[in-house]
Amino acid sequence: MKIRTLIVDDEPLARQRVRLLLGEEPDVEVVGECGDGFEAVDQIQETKPDLLFLDVQMPDMDGFEVLRRIPQALLPVVIFTTAYDQHALRAFEVHALDYLLKPSKPARFAEAVQRARDLIANKQAAVAARGLLSLLGQTPAPSIARGQLTRLAVKTPGKVTFVELDQIQAIEAAGKYAVVHVGKETHVLRETMNSLESNLPPQRFLRISRSIIVNIDQIQELQSMFNGENLVVLKNGKSYPTTRPIGEIQQKLEFR
C-alpha cells in the first residue's frame, strides 16, 4: 500500500528537497504540494493524505493554524519541518510528534519517514492525531512559538540564515514582509508582524506600533514631543514613533 503524502512549505526549494528525499522511499506517493496554508487546508480535505510534511513558519497562516482548520477525522500523520533551533522544539517532543530541522539530513529524514510508516502500518495514526490535538489545544499556540526562540531564521533561495535575537535592533513592516535591522544589515522576511510578535520572546521584544517591533535592550531613551507624538530612540540613534503610552514602555523597561 502506498503512503499518500502531501508536502506543505512556502519555499519551492524546500518542497523540492522533500520530494527529492522521498524519491528514495518506494512506498511513498506524493499526491500534491502546497505553497501556503490556505491551499493546504483545501488539499488536505480533498486528497486525505496519510502523511503530511508541514512547514511550521508560513506567512498569513502557519502550520499550527492549518491543523486547527482540519476536521479531527482527517488529521494525517504529521512530520513538521522547521527552522526553529533545537531548544525550541521541546513542545513537539513532549507530545511525541516528529519534526525535521531545515535543511534536513537524509539519514534523519529517512528515520522520520520510517517512524511515520510504522504508525500508519500499525494503525496508530489516531494516536499521533491525539498528540496533535493535545499540542494544538495549548493556549496560546504551542510554546515552541512563544518566548523560546533564541535565533530568527531568515529563509533566502537555497539557504536559511540564522540571526541571533540580541543582534536585532528593530523590525519594520513592509506589506506582507518584514524588514529586520541588524547593525548595518537588513534581512527581509516573508512574515507578518502578528506572526513575528507571537514568535518572539515578549520579555525581549516590544511592539510599539502596528508597523514596528523593537528589541527592548536596544532602547536608549523615550521622548515626548511637543506635538503630542512619542518617540522610542534606540542606541544606534534611530527613532520610531510609538502608539503605546510612554509610561507603559517605561514600566516594561524597568520591571522586565
pLDDT on residue 142: 47
Phi, psi of 184 (to 5 degrees): -90, 0
Count the neighbouring beta carbons within 10 Å of the beta carbon of residue 26. Answer: 8
Q: Which one, of 13, 66, 29, lies nearest residue 44 by Cα? A: 66
Count the neighbouring beta carbons within 10 Å of the beta carbon of residue 229. Answer: 11
pTM of the full predicted structure? 0.58
pLDDT band at 220 (very low <50, low <70, confident <90, very high): very high
Non-local (6+) Cβ contacts of 198 within 8 A are 140, 141, 145, 146
Count the neighbouring beta carbons within 10 Å of the beta carbon of residue 24. Answer: 11
When mean pLDDT is compared over 10-14, 162-166, 233-237, 250-254, the highest value belongs to 233-237
Which tens digits make up the pLDDT trace of 84-129? 665 456 667 656 678 888 888 999 999 999 999 998 888 777 767 7
Quote the CA–CA distance of 162 and 225 in Å, as a whole number. Answer: 37
Which tens digits make up the pLDDT trace of 119-178? 888 877 776 777 777 777 653 444 444 445 677 878 777 777 888 899 999 999 987 789
Query: Domains (ranges, CATH) in the chain?
Result: 3-145 (3.40.50.2300), 151-255 (2.40.50.1020)
pLDDT band at 231 (very low <50, low <70, confident <90, very high): very high
